[in-house]
Amino acid sequence: MSELTTVARPYAKAAFDYAVEANAIENWHEMLVFAAEVSKDATINQYLSGGASVEQATDIFLKVCDVQLNSNGQNLIKVMAENGRLLALPQVLTQFSELRAEYDKEITVDVTSAVKLKVAQQKVISAALEKRLARKVKLNCIVDANVVSGLVIKAGDMVIDGSIRGKLSRLATTMQS
């Protein structure tokens, strides 16, 4: 997986830079979502994995995508096909989305609680995180009874564990030391 991430990085960066220049970030995102889904298809995957020549694979891929890709999106597909990189399209989409979130100053935060959070609670958490992270926050609320009580908040590589389970775990570790 890390190999595909490395392979996808320059394509995602180039597509994102072009999308910003052309003021077409949303359009590029939609094209990449579609192309990534096409690349995951089992039949298409056979063509991309060596069952067809580069020209045939490109032609079939572009015919399947048809009007979903504009000429610039088709050019990206052609370049990736020439380099044998169409299987990396899902990773290109992932990295493009990350670049977009960074550009838009947005972050998705996972909030795990023992019970479903009320809308008012979500607003308070969101406002506090927006202030702390200096970004627009999208909450992904998860209910997990193992938390017992409190919250576990994950934003990128930052983790705030305010759960009873986390506190008990830290207490047990401290007592064992």
- Element holding 139 (H helix, E strand): strand 136-143
Q: Which residues pair with 153 in a beta bridge?
A: 111, 160
Residue type, 146: N
pTM: 0.68
Would you state the pLDDT for residue 59?
A: 83
**pLDDT at residue 153 greater than cutoff 70:** yes
Instruction: Report d(CA 34, CA 44) in Å as an integer.
Output: 13
Question: For residue range 14-37, what is the model confidence (pLDDT) as tens digits?
Answer: 999 999 998 888 999 999 999 888
Domain ranges of the chain: 2-102, 105-176
Range 2-102 has CATH code 1.10.520.20:
yes
Q: How confident is the model at residue 52 (pLDDT cuts 50, 70, 90)?
A: low
Q: How do residues 137-150 score in pLDDT, each as one tens digit?
A: 889 999 998 888 88
Query: For residue 154, what pLDDT is reported?
Result: 92
